[in-house]
Chains A and B, each alone.
Chain A
Amino acid sequence: MADPLLEIEALTKRFGGVIASDAISLCVPKGELHAIIGPNGAGKTTLIGQLAGEIAPDGGRIRFEGRDVTALSVDRRSQLGLARSFQITSLFLDFTALDNVALAVQAHAGHSFRFWRNARREVELRTPARAALARVGLAAREDVIVSNLSHGEHRQLEIAMALATTPRMLLLDEPMAGMGPDESARMVKTLRELKRGLTILLIEHDMEAVFALADRITVLVYGRIIASGPPEAIRANAEVRQAYLGEQEDRHG
């Protein structure tokens, strides 16, 4: 196996009586696209929250590039190269698309105690920001105020911002949520390109996309891993079919 980039060891999180993460152990090697699937309420977003540093786990360890990051703050983890996108679009709605991405570039271009030069005219911020927009196909929309962009464009911008932080690993929380078939297809294409250079942890409900993209899939049910392996193995796994894939027919989300 290649070098592990992200190692999760017995990660546990409880909310009152509910166990959202039940001793989750997972290892994502460099260059892998690892998908996490599971029914609603399986604790997928809670897991991402703990990896990004927004939620403090009750137990267990998170190692990133061999370094224990379990106690690091959100912004420190981002500085180390762990970038996340949000399931519910979380952008700077009153800024332009380019301003959004430029802020993400700025976050990783030294400290921001610079009070004089106009940041919107700094080539070293704008050029990488334009490049990130181009990678997700938003180059033509850079001057649009974000609240005027479509839902699909918001999702793409989410990715562009994560990319602009020059991450080593992307944590993507349902990047295709609420997308139409066309938008989804475009997002799959974008992710396939990103996959070449980046390690990605993907949470997604769109099974077609997951099976098309993932190198490995982990199935989470009630905070517990019930299976983990390559897509073919997951598809063939009886327990998974019963616990999750079969449930697609009578959804009670």
Chain B
Amino acid sequence: MTAALTPRNVVIAVLMLLLAAVPVYAAVTANTFLVTLFTRVIILGMAATSLNLILGYGGMVSFGHAVYLGIGGYAVGILAQEGASSGFVQWPVAILVSALFALLVGALSLRTRGVYFIMITLAFAQLVYYFGVGLDRYGADDGLTIGRRSQFAGLLNLSDRTQFYYLCLALLVVTIYLIARLVNSRFGMVIQGARSNDRRMRAIGFPTFRYRLTAFVIAGAICGLAGALLANHTGFISPATMHWTRSGDLIVMVVLGGMASSFGPLIGAVALLSLEEALPVLIRVSASPMFGDAAVRMAEYWQIVLGPLFLLVVLFARGGIDGLLAGVRRG
């Protein structure tokens, strides 16, 4: 594959350069808000990238993917509260517990198809959500404040915004690269084949279940790491992190950015979270000459604009934003 100078590659290159430049810009302008916002974008972009492996490439519509954000976050929070603040312990635990949970959910849900699959993944996520709500020792409904960031024996200081930002960006890039390798490997051909026609896959001799389950576990493990990052970012973890609406957000990012595309989920995360920040401001500014103070309240309904935008992308750009850039309509 040669990196041609297509519009899509240019946009992706510019996007990555801009992401790399955010802390520099923030340092020059003394604007820490942008670093905070884009750290979040990157972490959720990583979560969406992991979801894309099973949703975009594998055709498995998991409606409970945010549960791994919660599991990863609680792994950090609970271990921190119990005195184990080393990231060398917390992060592997976050990944491992997420992987084990994915193994359990996948082993049961992947035997079903379509709506049943969606409902089972959703049910498991909600199960953990209510488990979190009942966790009195760890803040229950109100969540758990994480006083101390994950410690990396002095190698990294996660309390330093810039260091943490670049760590997240590096992990995102590694994730995108690994998944790009994965989906083009023999393993990737199997999960894509199973998305396309599972019956035929079995007829030509593939025991597809074990491959799809493996993909499901890999996606969960990566999202668990994203959860550990998110908890470090906000210094807080609560059941709300794994509410089903958060799983919905991740699906929106993947679909909006472009399913089965390497950078699509990141583009989707940038687009969705930027719109979340920008739309209220835009509505307020553009409506205030006409409506005065009422414009502030109108801005609260920014989702009325976001909804139709999303609808347009789904209806007219089946490959999401990435598909528009590539000028290809995926069937």
Give chain A's interface residues, CB within 8 Å of chain B. 52, 54, 73-76, 78-79, 83-84, 86, 90-95, 99, 102-104, 106-108, 112-120, 122, 125, 147, 161-162, 164-165
A73 to B330, CA, bound (A): 33
Q: Given A73-B207, A112-B211: A90 and B200 within 8 A (CB)?
A: yes
> Could you list 13 further interchain pairs (A-B, Cβ under 8 angstroms) beyond the known A74-B202, A92-B196, A112-B187?
A73-B202, A76-B207, A78-B203, A79-B205, A83-B204, A91-B197, A94-B196, A95-B192, A95-B193, A107-B206, A115-B185, A116-B185, A161-B200
Complex contact B196–A119 (CB within 8 A):
no
Q: List 16 A-B contacts (CB under 8 A).
A: A78-B203, A79-B205, A83-B203, A84-B203, A92-B196, A93-B331, A95-B196, A104-B204, A106-B189, A107-B204, A107-B205, A115-B182, A115-B187, A122-B186, A147-B331, A162-B204
CB pair B202 A115 closer than 8 Å: no
Query: Judging by beta carbons under 8 Å apart, are B184 and A78 in contact?
Result: no
B218 to chain A, nearest CB (A): 9
A103–B203 alpha-carbon span in the complex (Å): 11
B113 within 8 A of A: no
* A79 CA to B37 CA, complexed, in Å: 52
- The answer to whether A112 and B199 touch across the interface, beta carbons within 8 angstroms, is no
* B interface with A by C-beta (< 8 Å): 181-182, 184-190, 192-193, 196-197, 199-208, 211, 214, 330-331
B178 nearest CB neighbor, chain A only: A115
B186 touching A112 by the CB < 8 A rule?
A: yes
Whether A78 touches B186, Cβ cut-off 8 Å, given contacts A90-B199, A91-B197, is no
Is B200's CB under 8 angstroms from A86's CB?
yes
Residues of B close to A119: CB separation below 8 A = 184-186, 188-189
Q: Are the C-beta atoms of B181 and A116 separated by less than 8 Å?
A: yes
Give the contacting residue for A90; candidates B185, B190, B197; CB below 8 A: B197
Q: Could you say which residues of chain A place their CB within 8 Å of the CB of B204?
A: 78, 83, 103-104, 107, 161-162, 164-165
Tell me which of A74, A91, A99, A106 contacts B186 (CB under 8 A): A106
Task: Tell whether, in the assembled complex, residue B186 and residue A93 are in contact, meaning their CB atoms are under 8 Å apart.
Answer: no
Residues of A within 8 A of B200 (CB): 86, 90-92, 161
CB <8 Å contact, B186 and A114: yes
Q: Nearest chain B CB to A110's CB is how many angstroms away?
A: 9
Q: Which chain A residues border B201 with CB–CB below 8 Å?
A: 103, 107
Q: How far is the CA of A116 from the CA of B193 in the complex (A)?
A: 17
Known: A92-B196, A147-B331. A117 touches B186 (CB 8 A): yes
Would you give the shortest CB distance from B174 to chain A, in whole angstroms?
14
Q: How far is it, in angstroms, between the C-alpha of A56 and the C-alpha of B196 when the chains are bound?
A: 24
A94 and B186 contact, CB distance less than 8 A = no
Measured in the bound complex, the distance between the Cα atoms of B209 and A33 in whole Å is 34
Max chain B Cβ within 10 angstroms of own Cβ: one of A103, A147, A161: A103
A113 to B186 CA separation, bound complex (whole angstroms) = 7
Determine the distance from Cα of A122 to Cα of B330 in the docked complex, in whole angstroms: 25
A contact residues around B199 at 8 Å (CB): 54, 90
Q: Please, which residues of chain B bring their CB within 8 A of the CB of A117?
A: 185-186
Partner of A120, one of B184, B202, B211: B184
| A91 / chain B contacts, CB cutoff of 8 Å | 197, 200
Cβ-neighbour of A114 out of B185, B196, B205, B207 (below 8 A) = B185
Once the chains are docked, how many angstroms separate the CA of A76 from the CA of B208?
12
* CA of A117 to CA of B186, assembled, Å: 7
Q: Is the CB of A112 within 8 A of B203?
A: no
10 tightest A-B CB contacts, nearest first = A78-B205, A107-B205, A92-B196, A114-B186, A112-B186, A74-B202, A104-B204, A119-B186, A107-B204, A75-B207
- Which listed residue, B189, B203, B330, touches A94 by the CB 8 Å rule? B330
Chain A residues closer than 8 Å to B211, beta-carbon distance? 112-113
Please indicate the chain A residues that have their CB under 8 angstroms from the CB of B187 in the complex: 112-115
Most buried by A among B186, B201, B331: B186
From known contacts A90-B197, A93-B331, infer whether A118 and B203 are also in contact, taking CB-CB under 8 Å.
Answer: no
B196 engages A90 (CB within 8 Å): no
Question: Cβ of B193: which chain A residues have Cβ within 8 Å of it?
Answer: 92, 95, 103
Which residues of chain A are within 8 angstroms of B182 by Cβ–Cβ distance? 115
Q: Which A residues touch B214, using CB under 8 A?
A: 113
- B184 contacts A74, C-beta separation under 8 Å: no
Min CB distance B118 to A, Å, is 22
